[in-house]
Structure 1
């Protein structure tokens, strides 16, 4: 039924994202240039989506105004270029599971940014409003716990890292990059709400966004490292990862999320993000032997509790139809 459509779709999207994040960890770990990877990934998405956009959405398309071009350009800069770059730094310096834990904050940051913009309404006198506010606060507490408290390792693996102090600095830098990426990602959800209203063509807008992002990434890459050798993939698996993350991760997942934002709003869509972490951890910990720290478990737990309080509030709002 239509009622469950967005939820089922978002669970599928999160599974695809979790696989993508694990693949990303392998590619950045090998030293494949981040910006080169992003350029290829977005280019693949643009090439993959353009024919779909043409066949599925060419009827009744309005002329794209300068203002809309600008919004799509900003949407690409926020949702694809900046967020992805920061996320890749974060994933490289920490772990895929830890990086996904920051994604759990996206719904709360989205919610807090949506308030002053009037995209989200809170009435504290009502139970639903209270749930939303308390949920947001709990979530933020969990996020701080994640970033500041690493805690004891929970799994008995031989210690692969002989320089714990050097790693600590990287962990902090990775956390900061992830924090900035979270804000960028949340901004994308809100901007997408306005883009979706003026231009409700998901395939076309994602194709345009991917093209912009590929150009942005390429320009930044060429200005920081003009050598041509970095543009060659190192392994056959790199080509597969670029194709998968481009077609599925940047292509279909963004189309699906844009549709869900249109159907259910930005906070609902963002609220499914924690599933990515759980799915990534389920693979990463046993298979890639990634260490799990107490701080990550506690922080993630608190974040998810806060998130579901926030969602409960949203749900009550929907039941009483007080939603804008």
Structure 2
């Protein structure tokens, strides 16, 4: 019985980590593929709108079958909350993120997303969802250090390219291709758009933490968010052009990318992240962003055959080190909270019991 309980505790402790790692790996592959599709000139918000519509279509049956008996009644406030959730976590986030992705690269976009823990942590302190007093403890210091290391890894990967360590035969062609691309792209503007998109994603994660309490149905909530976001993306697509032909996609690769992004990158990943936030909180869930960075780098290299540079390897290693330091701090925080709450009670009860025992044995 004890072993079964211990096994259940281990599963409960590690399942959020496994889910968050898996979802971030999926997001890394999605970013790399979407970048490839955007290079073909497709309207980035058309991709976003189709992606949201596919997500809603996939999740609707799950929401109906699995949550029809437990789903709270939808009020106007809850509908408005899901509208805001769609703006922060989908339409506006994708507007800036995909625009920045089209100006930069999948690796750079994911490198800036690796700043998500720091931004979420700072916003959590600003909105007082994270206790400032905890920063003075050893666990708090480790969390801050881990966050700073994550940022350093992302910035290092972004601004230090280093020598090429793979695909030596395609190096010359790649350099020529990159030289032509750099003439048409505003790199700094792209990084700014990516930063805005990451900040919106941080706000969504914090907002999702409160929405999970009001509406604890992950499939229905993500489905509603996707429906609102699909219409929002369609309106935002007017920014780039109003040609109906933009919505007619003939390229089979782009169609497959949109389907993959809708099913894996939006429906499955958003449900997983929402579940992870409910289990471990927004700040802890955001620390897995560097996994997206590593996945995008490896996916670019192994599947899309883009060159791999020393800066990508070193930056990824530093980001993972930061993630482990943060997890170490989070573990210390959990141990400290459990130690301060349960053992003193046990000691106090033991003292009372001992006193009672002594009193019963002493003469009257």
Unmatched 5+ stretches in structure 2:
1-10, 341-364
Following superposition of structure 1 onto structure 2, how do residues 38-49 of structure 1 map, counting pairs within 5 Å?
38-49=48-59
Following superposition of structure 1 onto structure 2, how do residues 178-257 of structure 1 map, counting pairs within 5 Å?
178-222=194-238, 224-257=240-273
Larger mean Cα displacement after TM superposition, 206-215 or 115-124 = 115-124
Q: Give a deviation string over 1:58-117, Cα, whole Å, max 9, x none.
A: 113222232222221111111111222222122222221221112211122111111122
Equivalent residue number for residue 266 of structure 1: 282
For the residues of structure 1 that align with 2:181 and 2:16, how far apart are their CA atoms?
43
For the residues of structure 1 that align with 2:57 and 2:260, how far apart are their CA atoms?
13
Structure 1 residues 260 and 164: alpha-carbon distance in aligned structure 2, compared to 1, 3 A threshold: closer
Equivalent residue number for residue 143 of structure 2: 132
Q: Give a deviation string over 1:247-274, Cα, whole Å, max 9, x none.
A: 2211111111111111111122112221
Larger mean Cα displacement after TM superposition, 211-220 or 230-239 = 230-239
For the residues of structure 2 that align with 1:13 and 1:303, how far apart are their CA atoms?
17
Following superposition of structure 1 onto structure 2, how do residues 51-62 of structure 1 map, counting pairs within 5 Å?
51-62=61-72
1:161 aligns with 2:178: yes
For the residues of structure 1 that align with 2:128 and 2:235, how far apart are their CA atoms?
35
Deviation at 1:283, TM superposition (A): 2.6
For the residues of structure 1 that align with 2:234 and 2:302, how far apart are their CA atoms?
36
Larger mean Cα displacement after TM superposition, 250-259 or 305-314 = 305-314
Larger Rg over CA atoms: 2
Larger mean Cα displacement after TM superposition, 206-215 or 134-143 = 134-143
Are the counterparts in 2 of residues 111 and 267 from structure 1 also a CA contact under 8 Å? yes
Equivalent residue number for residue 76 of structure 2: 66
Deviation at 1:13, TM superposition (A): 1.2
Kindly report the root-mean-square deviation, in angstroms, between the aligned alpha carbons of the 2 structures: 2.3
Unmatched 5+ stretches in structure 1:
none
Equivalent residue number for residue 105 of structure 1: 115
SS state of the match for residue 288, structure 2? Answer: coil
Equivalent residue number for residue 116 of structure 1: 126
Question: What is the number of residues matched between the two proteins?
Answer: 321
Deviation at 1:33, TM superposition (A): 1.1
Are the counterparts in 1 of residues 150 and 290 from structure 2 also a CA contact under 8 Å? no
Structure 1 residues 274 and 165: alpha-carbon distance in aligned structure 2, compared to 1, 3 A threshold: closer
SS state of the match for residue 206, structure 1? Answer: helix
Are the counterparts in 2 of residues 98 and 296 from structure 1 also a CA contact under 8 Å? no
Structure 1 residues 240 and 173: alpha-carbon distance in aligned structure 2, compared to 1, 3 A threshold: same
Are the counterparts in 2 of residues 108 and 307 from structure 1 also a CA contact under 8 Å? no
Are the counterparts in 2 of residues 150 and 293 from structure 1 also a CA contact under 8 Å? no
For the residues of structure 1 that align with 2:255 and 2:180, how far apart are their CA atoms?
32
- When normalised by structure 2's length, the TM-score is 0.81
Equivalent residue number for residue 16 of structure 1: 26
Deviation at 1:7, TM superposition (A): 1.5
Are the counterparts in 2 of residues 146 and 296 from structure 1 also a CA contact under 8 Å? yes
Equivalent residue number for residue 359 of structure 2: none
Equivalent residue number for residue 172 of structure 1: 188
Are the counterparts in 2 of residues 151 and 293 from structure 1 also a CA contact under 8 Å? yes
Structure 1 residues 299 and 173: alpha-carbon distance in aligned structure 2, compared to 1, 3 A threshold: farther
For the residues of structure 2 that align with 1:125 and 1:27, how far apart are their CA atoms?
47
